[in-house]
């Protein structure tokens, strides 16, 4: 998607680190799960609570949005457009972030408008975002028409792709790893594995780069949430591209090898946001053993 000023983008990218717009409460807690650790003994299980990032229900997109919004403000955009599924966490957090930053928010959402919106769709509307339904089930959204229309009306819109997974958005998780490694040191924990859900690629790319930059020793275990639709690049390709782009942004002379971070597949067979016994069992376990409510689409997988 073309944007108004390429030079402004380059400038904003170079200075993206200082153009961080505060949205969340960080560090998010890192704490042991004692009852689950007992069950999985001798393993010790910890959780990093990015659900507690604090913006309108919290979640991992807030970390990306701090940099994406920073970039938008630095470049003088007045409107953000993003896209996602009807229950998109990213859309909800973007709507809330825009309000704090004084930007207008347009969401391109898959499918038909439901009679009674619920969940994240309800919340995005409550937060004041203007919602455009695609009518179809296609994940690849085409924002050009909306961008053109908004420009004609005198607005200056920036399109953020699904999940906020751009080079700038990826910075959020490079910084998350810095925060995480500091907590590990403070709590004297040396984890063997870090599991996380991976879907649009920004979280994984940021974790890979962050591990490289901040010397995290643990092995990264990204769990695939959905297979990409036909014709779209694989998640591995997307992560590869994001790692390269974000390395460029940070002017790193050495790009980490992403082959060391293999995607865990097999949990994504049912398809995006289809909740199976696996997810319900995990949600119940986390809720009943630890009092933690897991996201059904991502974390429960």
Ligand X SMILES: *Cc1c(COP(=O)(O)O)cnc(C)c1O
* Least distance between ligand X and beta carbon 235 (Å): 8
Report yes or no: 60 and 99 within 8 Å, Cβ to Cβ: no
**Which of 53, 86, 198, 224 lies at the binding interface for ligand X (CB under 6 A)?**
198
> Is 295 an interacting residue with respect to ligand X (CB under 6 A)?
yes
The rounded distance, in Å, linking the Cα atoms of 91 and 257 is 31
**Among 110-118, 198-206, 262-270, 275-283, which window interacts with ligand X (CB under 6 A)?**
198-206
Question: How many CB atoms sit inside 10 A of residue 6's CB?
Answer: 9
The single residue of 88, 124, 200, 247 carrying the catalytic annotation is 88
C-beta of 19 vs 61, nearer to ligand X: 61
The rounded distance, in Å, linking the Cα atoms of 235 and 233 is 7
**Which of 13, 120, 166, 299 lies at the binding interface for ligand X (CB under 6 A)?**
299
Q: Any catalytic annotation for residue 200?
A: no
Draw the binding track, 71-100, toward ligand X (x: CB under 6 A; -: no contact). ------------------xx----------
> Is 60 an interacting residue with respect to ligand X (CB under 6 A)?
yes
> Is 238 an interacting residue with respect to ligand X (CB under 6 A)?
no
**Which of 16, 55, 298, 301 lies at the binding interface for ligand X (CB under 6 A)?**
298
> Is 59 an interacting residue with respect to ligand X (CB under 6 A)?
yes
Q: Which tokens hold the place of 288? A: 């009943």
Q: Which of residues 138-167 bind ligand X (CB under 6 A)?
A: 163, 165
**Which of 82, 94, 181, 200 lies at the binding interface for ligand X (CB under 6 A)?**
200
SS3 (DSSP) at 36: helix
Question: How many CB atoms sit inside 10 A of residue 278's CB?
Answer: 13
* Least distance between ligand X and beta carbon 190 (Å): 24
**Among 21-29, 34-42, 202-210, 259-267, which window interacts with ligand X (CB under 6 A)?**
202-210
Report yes or no: 212 and 186 within 8 Å, Cβ to Cβ: no
The dihedral of CA 235, 239, 240, 242: what is its sign? positive
SS3 (DSSP) at 43: coil
Q: Which tokens hold the place of 141? A: 């959204």
Q: Active-site residue numbers?
A: 88
Residues at the contact surface with ligand X, assessed by CB under 6 A: 59-61, 89-90, 163, 165, 197-204, 295, 298-299
């Amino acid at each position: 998607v073309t944007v108004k000023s390429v030079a402004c983008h380059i400038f904003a990218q170079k200075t993206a680190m200082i153009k961080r717009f505060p949205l969340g409460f960080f560090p998010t807690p890192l704490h042991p799960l004692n009852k689950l650790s007992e069950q999985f003994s001798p393993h010790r299980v910890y959780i990093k609570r990015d659900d507690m990032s604090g913006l309108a229900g919290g979640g991992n997109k807030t970390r990306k949005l701090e940099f994406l919004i920073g970039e938008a403000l630095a470049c003088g955009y007045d409107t953000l457009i993003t896209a996602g599924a009807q229950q998109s966490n990213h859309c909800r957090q973007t709507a809330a972030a825009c309000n704090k930053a004084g930007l207008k928010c347009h969401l391109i959402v898959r499918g038909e408008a439901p009679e009674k919106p619920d969940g994240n769709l309800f919340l995005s509307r409550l937060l004041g975002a203007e919602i455009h339904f695609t009518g179809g089930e296609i994940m690849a959204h085409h924002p050009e028409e909306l961008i053109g229309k908004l420009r004609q009306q005198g607005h200056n819109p920036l399109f953020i792709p699904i999940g906020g997974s751009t080079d700038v958005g990826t910075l959020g998780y490079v910084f998350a790893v810095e925060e995480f490694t500091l907590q590990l040191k403070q709590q004297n924990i040396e984890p063997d594995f870090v599991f996380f859900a991976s879907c649009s690629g920004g979280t994984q790319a940021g974790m890979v780069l962050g591990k490289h930059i901040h010397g995290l020793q643990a092995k990264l275990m990204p769990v695939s949430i959905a297979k990409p639709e036909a014709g779209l690049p694989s998640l591995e390709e997307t992560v590869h591209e994001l790692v390269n782009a974000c390395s460029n942004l940070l002017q790193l002379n050495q790009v980490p090898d992403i082959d060391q971070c293999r995607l865990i597949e097999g949990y994504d067979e049912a398809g995006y946001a289809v909740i199976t016994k696996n997810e319900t069992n995990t949600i119940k376990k986390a809720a009943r053993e630890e009092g933690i409510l897991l996201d059904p689409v991502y974390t429960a997988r």
